[in-house]
Amino acid sequence: MSPTHHPDPEPLETDDVKVVAVGTALWFAGLLVALVLHDRLAENGHDDWVWILLAGSLLGLLGLRYVVRRRAAIRRDGGPVPQDR
């Protein structure tokens, strides 16, 4: 017996700018904590965490720039954009 095929659900509406902004803020918070605890991290061989968190923070800023520009382009073209809450 073959399984029945159900139609794909509609995509969820999300505020990508808010999601990326929160994620980037968490990377920066982690970076601040790692900078405060740098000596302890270095003692335990985890001094590379600072660089990892810095990279994540910078990539988050690039991602934030991308989603802000994407949202502006969608609005300019008259496409549907999730409501800012």
What is the per-residue pLDDT across 40-74, written as a single tens digit (0 to 9) for each? 999 999 999 999 999 999 999 999 999 999 999 98
45: left (phi over 0), alpha (psi -120 to 50) or beta: left
Query: Is residue 85 in some structural domain?
Result: no
* Cβ atoms 38, 47 nearer than 8 A: yes
Q: Is residue 11 part of a domain?
A: no
Q: Kindly give the residue spans of alpha helices, DSSP state H, lying in 9-48.
A: 16-36, 38-43
Question: Is pLDDT larger for residue 3 or for residue 60?
Answer: 60
Spatial CA neighbour of 84 closest among 1, 25, 17, 38 = 17
Range of the domain at 49: 24-74
pLDDT, mean of residues 18-27: 98
**In this structure, is residue 4 part of a structural domain?**
no
Domain count, the chain: 1
Give the closest residue to 18 by CA, choosing from 68, 74, 78, 77: 68
